[in-house]
Amino acid sequence: MLQVSGLRKHFELAAGHVGKDPVVVRAVEDVSFAIDKGETLTIVGESGCGKSTIAKMLVGLVAPTAGTVEVAGRMLSPDRTQDDRRLIQLVSQNPWSALNRRRTLRHALEQPLLAHGIGRTKADRARLVGEMVERVGLTDRHLGQLPAGVSGGELARAVLARALLLSPQVLVLDEPTASLDVSVKATVVNLLLDLRAELGLSMVLITHELDIARKLADKSAVMYLGRIVEQGSGEQVFDEPRHPYTRMLLASMPVADPEHRRLPEGLGEVASAIAPPPGCAYHPRCAYAEAICGTAVPELLLQGDRMLACHRADELGLPSEVAAAHAAAGVPLPLHASSPADPQRATGGRQAYDDPSDAPVPVPERTKT
């Protein structure tokens, strides 16, 4: 349903903006993924790793430096046509950016219908809007309100209804629950689950909230400084994280039971997208870095059951069922951890993957709804 290939965005800041030379922000580098009808891909990663830039490129708000976006077999041009835009809709990080504060929600919802020539008469459009607000759990009363007159949860529903009125094939949701209270978040997540089941929607969900990402993900991609570093099913990424960065991200997640809280393995702060570290951009923070990590960018490759971008990926333990499948197919398993005594692996006290103390990172229970 959605096929993204080699997506890249380099923002060029004007010469003289910082120093004399033009400065390039490498926001997104060579990002590829695909999702089927009815599937949800969640994209997670720290602030500034390029999530919103991907969202904007998907919906045509930002022109890619390179790469393509294909929806339902149709290659979308950087200058999107009306029909292109209908296929893939954004629910923005900031609902206020999609709404005029001085116009009612009814106006906000009818506008896209008018712009796309949907509904022949005013009565037709009113009916379509009425049906959609009901579907997202709002009523006619809300339609008469200004955006400031409804709650955060109601606003989130209105923005969702606005995107859905165009019957998109793919919905891109950028932090749809960021500004909501915990209890309201749960109702919006449930609404997304219902809509996905009812409408067969494909979704790209960007969120900082790993419990929500985990709940909704059929697939998940973990990003670090513009690149995907781990990609697999929701269960693989959230229940058996393998990339050192994913492990750090999940370990830093607050959990209810302090017994299960682990300190992050990562060291230091995220680097700048203007001057990303050479080689693996994560290497200054990675507890497992070795010499090659500082010089060569690791490719995102299939490693056992998922895609990983890590020079030491072959040393990560494989889940037992994958090992069994390899054995049944007579395919040799990837090399396992070399001895910590191996001089090639002498990492100045850094951890080896086969360190018995490197137990799986505990993750919290799925959000109860």
Ligand X SMILES: Nc1ncnc2c1ncn2[C@@H]1O[C@H](COP(=O)(O)OP(=O)(O)OP(=O)(O)O)[C@@H](O)[C@H]1O
Q: Which residues bind ligand X (CB under 6 A)?
A: 11, 25, 27, 47-53, 273
Burial (Cβ within 10 Å: 0-12, 13-18, ≥19) of residue 224: buried
Among candidates 84, 156, 101, 164, which has minimal Cα distance to 128?
164
- 242 belongs to the binding site for ligand SF4 (CB under 6 A): no
Part of the chain binding ligand SF4 (CB under 6 A), chosen from 118-126, 269-277, 279-287, 318-326: 279-287
Residue from 27, 44, 54, 293 binding ligand SF4 (CB under 6 A): 293
Query: In the bound complex, what is the minimum distance in angstroms from residue 205's beta carbon to ligand SF4?
Result: 24
49 binds, among Mg ion, ligand SF4, ligand X, none (CB under 5 to 8 A by kind): ligand X
What is the closest distance, in whole angstroms, from the C-beta atom of residue 122 to ligand X in the complex?
38
Q: At closest approach, how far in Å is the CB of 84 from ligand SF4?
A: 37
Residue with Cβ nearer Mg ion (51 or 185): 51
Both tokens of residue 334?
């990837």
Distance of CA 176 to the CA centre of its chain: 12
| 286 touches ligand SF4 by CB under 6 A | yes
Q: How far is the CB of 50 from ligand X (least distance, A)?
A: 4
CA–CA distances in Å: residue 352 to residues 5, 193, 334, 337, 344: 33, 40, 16, 8, 12
CA distances 164 to 3, 86, 89, 119, 179, Å, are 20, 10, 8, 15, 21
Closest to ligand SF4 by CB, 203 vs 280, is: 280
| Residue 48 interacts with, from ligand SF4, Mg ion, ligand X, none (CB under 5-8 Å by kind) | ligand X
Instruction: Residue 184: count other Cβ atoms within 10 Å of its Cβ.
Output: 17
Taking the C-alpha atoms of residue 260 and residue 247, their distance in angstroms, rounded to an integer, is 14
Contact, 228 vs 280, CB < 8 A? no
Give the nearest distance from C-beta 307 to ligand SF4 in angstroms. Answer: 13
Hey, which residues between 36 and 65 contact Mg ion (CB under 5 A)? 51-52
Count, residues near Mg ion per rule CB under 5 A: 2
Minimum Å gap between C-beta 45 and Mg ion is: 10
Please count the other Cβ atoms lying within 10 Å of the Cβ belonging to residue 258. 7
Which phi-psi region, left, alpha or beta, contains residue 327 (left: φ > 0; alpha: ψ -120 to 50)?
alpha
Instruction: Check residue 288 for interaction with ligand SF4 (CB under 6 A).
Output: yes
Binding site for ligand SF4 (CB under 6 A): 244, 280, 282-283, 286, 288-289, 293, 298, 310-312
